[in-house]
Amino acid sequence: MEKGVIFNIQRYSVNDGPGIRTIVFFKGCPMRCAWCDNPESIAFKPQIAFHKKKCINCGACMEICPKGVININHKNRFDWENCNNCEKCVNSCPTEALEMIGRLMTVDEIMKEIKKDDAFYNKSGGGITISGGEATSQFKFLQELLKSLKVEGYHVVIETNGLITWEKLEKIIPNVDIIYLDIKGIDAEKHWQNTNVENAVILQNAENLLQGNCKVVFRIPIIPGFNDFLEDIHRLDDFLSTVKAKEIHLLPYHRFGEDKIETIQTEQKSLEIPSMERSELETIRRKIQHSGRIVIVGGE
Ligand code: SF4
Ligand code: SF4
């Protein structure tokens, strides 16, 4: 049976869709957003996080590591290139300073977790949200999971950055109730500089999706100095009008990802800008609010 790399299954969430939901986080993302708040989701393989503040330097991890890739007395404490993810160090750590991020799971294993909360979904009108990372990057596994969810009658939301061919995207639409599509910027050059990918395919997918029957919610992270200039907002507004967007969630920049950067092996750097208050997005919200369009701040 196909396996996917999943880095978290979060129960009892009241965000990311209607009602009480279970969020299944896929690991791995092809984008490199400078502001990513889940840097531990970027690498496709499982990896180990080191929480320095919890470490008491007991040396248990160093003693047990069969590959000899831990040296607590060296400034480069871990040689991750040669780690085989055996998890022995994680299990030996008395303070949970080491954490495994991501593990291989089958669809059946995920469904078993999901089913634990059937009563909550039924009572609240909730369901399952597929998030990440970027779930469409593990396309075959995603298809299998979505089919199983559909067979069992779950309400399904998928959060995606839209970086996928239309041919693939339209294959998953029948098994999804709501698509949360991230639009990180309209300007092609700026998009490339801040995410390391082009936005043409994403914008085209947005247009195609709005021509179909699937409910689409646009989620737009507002990042100071990247996409919050007046010109950016005008272009965003024009784009939303062109595709006839009906629901938009503006997401204020926050620094949740910053603390995680130092716990994992990543090339991501701190943006060193403060988190935004929701109230700071009110002006932008008003600028793109038109009749027939719902625009809210938050909704994450
Ligand atoms: S996961 Fe295994 S190989 Fe990697 S550092 Fe820990 S004990 Fe060593
Ligand atoms: S086992 Fe845990 S607490 Fe002990 S040195 Fe290793 S990381 Fe630190």
Residue 212's CATH number? 3.20.20.70
Closest atom of ligand 2 relative to the 92 alpha carbon: 1
Residue 71's CATH number? 3.30.70.20
> Is residue 237 pLDDT above 90, yes or no?
yes
Pairing of strands 47-50, 98-101: antiparallel
Any atom of ligand 1 within 6 Å of the Cβ of 89: yes
Shared domain check, 121 and 33: yes
pLDDT at 109: 98
Shared domain check, 110 and 62: no
Closest atom of ligand 2 relative to the 98 alpha carbon: 7
Cα–Cα distance between 56 and 39 in angstroms, integer?
Answer: 25
Shared domain check, 131 and 26: yes
Shared domain check, 84 and 40: no
Shared domain check, 202 and 220: yes
- Per-residue pLDDT of 110-133, as tens digits, reads 999 999 999 999 999 999 999 999
**Closest protein CA for atom 7 of ligand 1:** 65
pLDDT at 300: 54
Instruction: Among 85, 101, 117, give the residue marking a domain's end.
Output: 101
Dig out the tokens for 228 from the structure.
């919050």
Mean pLDDT within 255-272: 78
Task: Name the pLDDT band for 4 (thresholds 50, 70, 90).
Answer: very high
Cis peptide preceding 133, ω within 30 of 0? yes
Task: Name the pLDDT band for 299 (thresholds 50, 70, 90).
Answer: low
Q: Which of 197, 260, 226, 227 is nearest to 37 (CA)?
A: 260
pLDDT at 181: 97
Dig out the tokens for 21 from the structure.
């939901």
Determine how many CB atoms are found less than 10 A away from the CB of residue 20.
19
Are the CB atoms for 4 and 141 separated by under 8 Å? yes
Any atom of ligand 1 within 6 Å of the Cβ of 84: yes
Dig out the tokens for 299 from the structure.
């909704």
Pocket test for ligand 1, best of 47, 74, 86, 98 (most atoms within 8 A of CB): 86
> Is residue 278 pLDDT above 90, yes or no?
no
Q: Residue 87, Cα to own-chain centre: how many angstroms?
A: 24
Any atom of ligand 2 within 6 Å of the Cβ of 93: yes
Which residues constitute the domain of residue 95? 47-101
Shared domain check, 183 and 64: no
Shared domain check, 285 and 147: yes
Shared domain check, 244 and 150: yes
Cα–Cα distance between 255 and 38 in angstroms, integer?
Answer: 10
> What distance in angstroms lies between residue 70's CA and the mean position of ligand 1's atoms?
8
pTM: 0.91
- Per-residue pLDDT of 47-81, as tens digits, reads 999 999 999 999 999 999 999 999 999 988 999 88
Shared domain check, 32 and 53: no
Shared domain check, 203 and 166: yes
- Per-residue pLDDT of 132-167, as tens digits, reads 999 999 999 999 999 999 999 999 999 999 999 999
Q: Lowest-confidence range among 16-20, 37-41, 170-174? A: 37-41
Task: Name the pLDDT band for 200 (thresholds 50, 70, 90).
Answer: very high
> Is residue 106 pLDDT above 60, yes or no?
yes
Task: Name the pLDDT band for 213 (thresholds 50, 70, 90).
Answer: confident
Mean pLDDT within 202-216: 93
The maximal CA–CA distance of the chain, rounded, in angstroms, is 65
> Is residue 5 pLDDT above 70, yes or no?
yes
Residues 151-169 as b/e (b if ≥16 CB within 10 A, e otherwise) read eeebbbbbbbbbbbeeeeb
Shared domain check, 166 and 122: yes
Any atom of ligand 2 within 6 Å of the Cβ of 33: no
Share of the chain above pLDDT 70, in %: 99
pLDDT at 149: 98
Any atom of ligand 1 within 6 Å of the Cβ of 86: yes
Shared domain check, 122 and 85: no
Question: In degrees rounded to 5, what are phi and psi of residue 177?
Answer: -90, -40
Tell me the average pLDDT of the chain. 93
Mean pLDDT within 40-52: 92
Q: How many domains does the chain have?
A: 2
Q: What is the 3-state secondary structure (H, E, C) of 17-74?
A: CCCCEEEEEECCCCCCCCCCCCHHHCCCCCEEEECHHHCCCCCHHHHHCCCCCECCCC
Dig out the tokens for 270 from the structure.
């701190």
